[in-house]
Copies of this chain bind each other. A is one copy, B any other.
Amino acid sequence: MITNSAFAVEPWVVRERDLDMGTLAQTESVFALSNGHIGMRGNLDEGEPHGLPGTYLNSVYEQRPLPYAEAGYGYPESGQTVVNVTNGKLIRLLVDDEPFEIRYGRLHEHERLLDLRAGTLTRRAHWSAPSGCPVRVTSTRLVSFTQRAVAAIRYEVEALGSPVRIVVQSELVANESLPALSADPRATAVLESPLVMEENVTTEDCAIMIHRTRVSGLSIAAAMQHDVDAPDGTHMDMSGSGDTGRLTVVTRLEPGQRLRLVKLLAYGWSAERSRPAMHDQVMAALAGARSTGWDGLVSEQRAFLDDFWSGADVEIDGDPQVQQAVRFGLFHLLQAGARTEQRPIPAKGLTGPGYDGHTFWDTETFVLPVLSYTYPSAVADALDWRRTTLPQAKDRAKRLGLRGAAFPWRTIHGEECSGYWPAGTAAFHINADIACAVARYVDATHDIEFEREIGLPLLVATARLWRSLGHHDVGGRFRIDGVTGPDEYSALADNNVYTNLMARRNLRAAADATVRHPDGAQQLGVTVDETASWRAAADATYLPFDDRLGVHPQNEGFTEHARWDFAATEPEQYPLMLHFPYFELYRKQVVKQADLVLALYLCGEDFKFEDKVRDFAYYEALTVRDSSLSSAVQSVIAAEIGQLDLAYDYLGEAALMDLDDLEHNTRDGVHIASLAGAWTALVAGFGGMRAGGGRIRFDPRLPDGITRLAFRLCYRGRRLQVVVTADTTTYHLLEGDPLSVMHHGEEFLLGEQPVTLPTPAAATPDCWIRQPRGREPLPRRAGALRRPRP
């Protein structure tokens, strides 16, 4: 487990000062580089030791059969699993016949540093071989944001004590052997040697390998080229055989002398293109990278990030750890989404094989909201990918006997890959999550062309789904029965409030969009009768309420169920799903992750403030946060109802999920949605930001401990900065036309001049809020004692 001390707390970098073998796999995820197309785990240059070697290309997957003890109609027959593609990171080193291996010899110093502004991972090692020769090895790695197919490594060896013979082997290796992953169902299936060699060619200075996945039949090309700066007498040789391409550099270094090598890598994959086309594609990418050169790639990378940060940065005074974490989170979000280009954003980005590399509702619900206001083009890309999968989603709906499109609960290529339907297929809310992400993006950008070309088909197909999934009962109410909401500790319930509210929005957003795009709607066969039926369903949507308790049941009947026996549940029995059967979890009042509380956030205007307070208090007592998708949402609502200290605690949990490895599974990849949560808790929680209908509003309020919060965001072509202190909030329009903004319910026009308004004190309602025994969030402020314990 990574403890806080694994990384130094610095505002713009994540630095590891010593190498801890116990956290190797976790740090590989934390230090992973990606541009959304290529992903490289932070494996050591020399390949070993490793936690889990990993190089990924977005949407390169292998297909595997899904087994069932008892089969059923409509069960997906095959799954998709992300594949570890050709590893181009490998640079092995021999120092006087001794391999540079940190487990041998003496490691005097070792540092790794992820620079969030430079977009590079730098490593510095000072090491003596067992024979005594000391060397310094420095490497810097980047996956280019500006050249999508390109990654590069600058590698340097310096002799320190005495003359030394150096051999560097820079490689491309396919079908690396992988360690078996845990039996935890959340981890991925291991695929052994998934790649079939199609081409392994070397020229004097290039190596290129083309492989094909065995079943899914995807072609993968990887190429490398080197620029070597070495003393005279250095000998170089490029060779390729089997699944390996290798440049060997042999030289001799005097003390103080250095060998420098820049390795350029290009990757491509395709389901369609021929081998020669793939070959040429990666060679062209290499040529482009070579003409840019290492320095050029580095400066492009920084310029790209400078621009990103100028529209997205969040500054926090008073909590350097959260400061670092929120930037780390934004950086990984950008890495996951920047260059997907009609490909999905997986739950772990391209940082590890967790969850088989699948994308879930996490992306639309937790990740795209952040990117909508910080890097909106990534949202358009991700939703465009969903549009490209409409054929699969329509087939799925048909197979299920429904109309419109039924998007998969988990997938890489668009087909449903969930092997457990009560928590997969039945979680239909993903369709509304997608539709609402469309609406949110369109609101944030006013990108009308996107709405017409990409948004409308998604909205119409999902509205049709809901209309066929629900029914009007004899009382006229529109019910959606037997579905699973966000909380995975309930399933197959009637009238899940979150689902019904989101479906209602979906239906209305679709109807509204058809009015704006009548031609597009006509092409999709939408009639006025149809949109009228959507609106009628939306208007009649049933929302159960428990009058006795004065709260919304998460779904119909929920509040009648037995409460989970938290007093009898031991700390080591969490997460509950690994120690109790679904049967018990489903039929009791226990909540894995925000569900009704997520509705309080995403559909906030559908609830009265008093309801929010009561509902939040009710569900706090039941929510165990066995999912990383929960704490940020709880933070937002805690902040909204004035429970600022609690909100702060949850912020800490969301922000530090991966840096502190709170769920002990960062090894499989970082939690992109949870990383998004730090921004969400800060901007939507403490900033109180909400947007919709072309309007943006803020209800800022700060907890004790954060003295200043400043965040930048993009809205409808503007860049804003909001600076919150305990007393005042100042709004800056950094770019774009004047904009009407709401501050704690009062509207003002924000133009060139900053506007400063008072930050009102939060009115803490009189309510008793507590969590299940042992599931309280860690107090963010030491000694804070604001929540009395029973």
Q: Evaluate contact between B421 and A582: CB separation under 8 angstroms.
A: yes
Any B CB within 8 A of the CB of A72: yes
| Number of interface residues, chain A, beta carbon within 8 A | 53
Q: Evaluate contact between A587 and B481: CB separation under 8 angstroms.
A: yes
Q: Evaluate contact between A560 and B479: CB separation under 8 angstroms.
A: yes
Q: Evaluate contact between A471 and B426: CB separation under 8 angstroms.
A: no
Q: Evaluate contact between A491 and B494: CB separation under 8 angstroms.
A: no
Q: Which residue of B lies closest to A420 (CB)?
A: B70
Q: CA separation between A482 and B556, bound complex, in Å? A: 13
Instruction: Name the distance in Å between A253's Cβ and chain B's nearest Cβ.
Output: 53
Q: Evaluate contact between A583 and B482: CB separation under 8 angstroms.
A: yes
A516-558 interface code vs B (CB 8 A; 1 in, 0 out): 0000000000000000000000000000000010000000110
Segment from A101-109, A373-381, A573-581 that makes contact with B: A573-581
- Residues on B with C-beta less than 8 A from A557 are 481, 494, 556-557
Q: CA separation between A607 and B474, bound complex, in Å? A: 26
Q: Evaluate contact between A418 and B70: CB separation under 8 angstroms.
A: yes
Q: CA separation between A473 and B562, bound complex, in Å? A: 7
Segment from A16-24, A61-69, A683-691 that makes contact with B: A61-69
Q: Which residue of B lies closest to A73 (CB)?
A: B581
Q: CA separation between A422 and B69, bound complex, in Å? A: 13
Any B CB within 8 A of the CB of A586: yes
Q: Which residue of B lies closest to A401 (CB)?
A: B584
- Residues on B with C-beta less than 8 A from A669 are none
Any B CB within 8 A of the CB of A49: no
Q: CA separation between A425 and B583, bound complex, in Å? A: 8
Q: CA separation between A421 and B580, bound complex, in Å? A: 13
Any B CB within 8 A of the CB of A79: yes
A469-496 interface code vs B (CB 8 A; 1 in, 0 out): 0010110000101110000000110100
- Residues on B with C-beta less than 8 A from A76 are 69
Q: Evaluate contact between A562 and B68: CB separation under 8 angstroms.
A: no
Any B CB within 8 A of the CB of A419: yes
A378-410 interface code vs B (CB 8 A; 1 in, 0 out): 000000000000000000000111000000000
Q: Evaluate contact between B494 and A560: CB separation under 8 angstroms.
A: yes
Q: CA separation between A420 and B420, bound complex, in Å? A: 10
Q: CA separation between A66 and B70, bound complex, in Å? A: 9
Any B CB within 8 A of the CB of A235: no
Instruction: Name the distance in Å between A746's Cβ and chain B's nearest Cβ.
Output: 44
Chain A interface helix/strand/loop/mixed = loop
Q: Evaluate contact between B584 and A419: CB separation under 8 angstroms.
A: no
Q: CA separation between A69 and B78, bound complex, in Å? A: 9
Q: CA separation between A408 and B419, bound complex, in Å? A: 23
Any B CB within 8 A of the CB of A74: yes
- Residues on B with C-beta less than 8 A from A183 are 71
List residues 572-601 of chain A with CB under 8 A from any CB of chain B. Answer: 577-584, 586-588
Instruction: Name the distance in Å between A657's Cβ and chain B's nearest Cβ.
Output: 23
Any B CB within 8 A of the CB of A185: yes
- Residues on B with C-beta less than 8 A from A70 are 185, 418-420, 423-424
- Residues on B with C-beta less than 8 A from A214 are none
- Residues on B with C-beta less than 8 A from A580 are 73-74, 401
Q: Which residue of B lies closest to A418 (CB)?
A: B70
Q: CA separation between A116 and B419, bound complex, in Å? A: 48
Any B CB within 8 A of the CB of A561: yes
Q: Which residue of B lies closest to A549 (CB)?
A: B474
Q: A70-B185, A560-B479 are in contact. Are A583 and B494 (CB under 8 A)?
A: no
Q: Evaluate contact between A586 and B400: CB separation under 8 angstroms.
A: no
Instruction: Name the distance in Å between A324's Cβ and chain B's nearest Cβ.
Output: 35
- Residues on B with C-beta less than 8 A from A420 are 68-70, 72
Q: Evaluate contact between A560 and B185: CB separation under 8 angstroms.
A: no
**Contact residue among B68, B71, B425, B482 (Cβ-Cβ distance under 8 Å from A587):** B482
Q: CA separation between A579 and B67, bound complex, in Å? A: 19
**Contact residue among B421, B425, B481, B583 (Cβ-Cβ distance under 8 Å from A426):** B583
- Residues on B with C-beta less than 8 A from A587 are 481-483, 492, 494
Q: Which residue of B lies closest to A557 (CB)?
A: B494
Instruction: Name the distance in Å between A475's Cβ and chain B's nearest Cβ.
Output: 9
Q: Which residue of B lies closest to A426 (CB)?
A: B583
- Residues on B with C-beta less than 8 A from A578 are 73
- Residues on B with C-beta less than 8 A from A68 are 67-69, 419-420
A69-B420, A70-B420, A73-B580 known; 13 new pairs, CB 8 Å cut-off, are A69-B75, A69-B79, A70-B185, A71-B183, A72-B582, A73-B581, A73-B582, A401-B580, A422-B422, A471-B562, A474-B548, A482-B561, A492-B586
Q: List 11 A-B contacts (CB under 8 A).
A: A67-B67, A72-B185, A73-B582, A425-B583, A471-B562, A474-B548, A481-B560, A481-B587, A492-B583, A494-B560, A556-B557
**Residue ranges of A at the interface with B (Cβ–Cβ < 8 Å):** 66-76, 79, 183, 185, 399-401, 418-426, 471, 473-474, 479, 481-483, 491-492, 494, 548, 556-557, 560-562, 577-584, 586-588
Q: Which 8 A-B pairs have the closest CB atoms?
A: A69-B419, A482-B587, A67-B67, A74-B581, A66-B69, A471-B562, A70-B420, A481-B587
